Chains A and B, each alone.
Chain A
Amino acid sequence: MPLEVWQEQLRRGSLDLAILLTVASGPRYGLAIIQHLETFTDLVVSEGTIYPILGRLTREGLLDAEWVEDEAPHARKYYRLTRSGAKRLAHMKAEWRAFAGKIGRLMEASERHDDAAQ
């Protein structure tokens, strides 16, 4: 598998977690979510592809969406984490930490082996 494909799969696989983490601290509208993601990560390649993901997470019941009309000259669609979303986020964080820990240990073991071989 080419490196770019692997990187793309990794990026796509972590986008759901990143979005849920972004709205965990409070409701945010689409552009605010994108800007938050861009501040901390390079997961957003194309801004327009984030909205379909927000739509899917809403359909799955992990996010709640609501249009707010009177906050800006144009309406904004705010997303907030649902109870089910919070539960999913807790599971995803635990999974991510466990997974990253295992891969980290594997890399350390590999590096120790490399050092010993030299």
Chain B
Amino acid sequence: MQLSEAGESRVQGYLFVLERSLNTFLPREVVRDAVREIESHLRERVLTATASPNERDAVERILGELGPPLRVAQAYSAERTIDEAVATGRLVPIVRAVGHLASTTIVGFFAALAVLVGYLTAFAFVAIAVLKPIFPDNVGIRYAAGFPVGLGAQFPLPPGEHMGGGYAIIPFALACGLGIFIGTHRGARGFLSWWRNRRVS
């Protein structure tokens, strides 16, 4: 089947939407290759198809069998970002995959929020351990009127308050930071694994 201008425009429209969707989470050269492959598929299908009952229906049938461009993009997303994150367990792919889900789904948004809080909390504990030797009087367990009211760093320390815990706060903060980091990381990986298993491709 030789495509008319209208048929060609429909195919180009499909490829345009696919490219725009893929561009949001894939590197440019990967998108170019993916779109080229899908275009090759469409050209092959069109070449062997007959304009029956008419060209428009034939093109729609071919595009329907391929699947909507957003669904194809979702399949790339699932295979590329989520599988990479689950398979490798590395921090950057996990953050990227959670970030992608956060921008496309409500569940992903709340999961990303929880992951962000987890990583920031872990970072805060590690920061306490690092800052304690540098600012021994401003980092630790904050006491006001003899009662502990917080943990962290305070610059300057308000009058009547002092920092307790001594240098023992360093291993404590490191252990907490590491524990929270591992917990958050495992939780994020588990969430992505669950997401991958429930997806319908």
Report B-chain residues with C-beta under 8 Å of the C-beta of A48.
38, 66-67, 71-72, 75
Report A-chain residues with C-beta under 8 Å of the C-beta of B67.
46-49
Encoded as 1 (CB less than 8 Å from any A CB) or 0, chain B from 31 to 59 comes to 00010111111011101000000000000
In the assembled complex, A73 has its CB within 8 A of some CB on chain B:
yes
Query: Is there contact, CB below 8 Å, between A76 and B201?
Result: no
Query: Is there contact, CB below 8 Å, between B66 and A47?
Result: yes
In the assembled complex, B200 has its CB within 8 A of some CB on chain A:
yes
Stretch at the interface among A50-58, A82-90, A93-101, A106-114: A50-58
- The CA-CA distance from A67 to B33 in the complex, in Å, is 10
Report A-chain residues with C-beta under 8 Å of the C-beta of B39.
74
Report B-chain residues with C-beta under 8 Å of the C-beta of A74.
39-40, 43-44, 47
Query: Is there contact, CB below 8 Å, between A51 and B41?
Result: yes
Stretch at the interface among B77-85, B107-115, B165-173, B175-183: B77-85
Closest A residue by C-beta to B45: A31
Closest A residue by C-beta to B69: A48
**In the complex, chain B residues 184-201 whose Cβ is within 8 Å of any chain A Cβ:** 197-198, 200-201
In the assembled complex, B65 has its CB within 8 A of some CB on chain A:
yes
Q: A interface, how many residues as a size bin?
A: 20 to 34
Q: How many A-B residue pairs have CB under 8 A?
A: 76
In the assembled complex, B76 has its CB within 8 A of some CB on chain A:
yes
Closest B residue by C-beta to A38: B65
- The CA-CA distance from A23 to B43 in the complex, in Å, is 22
Query: Is there contact, CB below 8 Å, between A76 and B34?
Result: no
Closest A residue by C-beta to B197: A9
**In the complex, chain B residues 6-43 whose Cβ is within 8 Å of any chain A Cβ:** 30, 34, 36-41, 43
Report A-chain residues with C-beta under 8 Å of the C-beta of B41.
30-31, 47, 51
Q: How near does chain A come to B19, taking the closest CB pair, in angstroms?
A: 13
In the assembled complex, A102 has its CB within 8 A of some CB on chain B:
no
Report A-chain residues with C-beta under 8 Å of the C-beta of B66.
46-48
- Contacts A12-B201, A55-B79, A56-B79 given: A49-B43 contact, CB under 8 Å? no
Query: Is there contact, CB below 8 Å, between A46 and B37?
Result: no
- Contacts A9-B197, A12-B201, A76-B40 given: A52-B71 contact, CB under 8 Å? no
Report A-chain residues with C-beta under 8 Å of the C-beta of B43.
73-74
Report A-chain residues with C-beta under 8 Å of the C-beta of B47.
72-74
In the assembled complex, A116 has its CB within 8 A of some CB on chain B:
no
**In the complex, chain A residues 31-65 whose Cβ is within 8 Å of any chain B Cβ:** 31, 45-49, 51-53, 55-56
Q: How near does chain B come to A36, taking the closest CB pair, in angstroms?
A: 14
Q: How near does chain A come to B86, taking the closest CB pair, in angstroms?
A: 12
A positions within 8 Å CB-CB of B: 5, 8-9, 12, 29-31, 45-49, 51-53, 55-56, 67, 72-77
* Contacts beyond the supplied A12-B201, A49-B71, A51-B37: 6 A-B pairs with Cβ under 8 Å: A9-B197, A29-B40, A51-B76, A52-B78, A73-B47, A74-B47
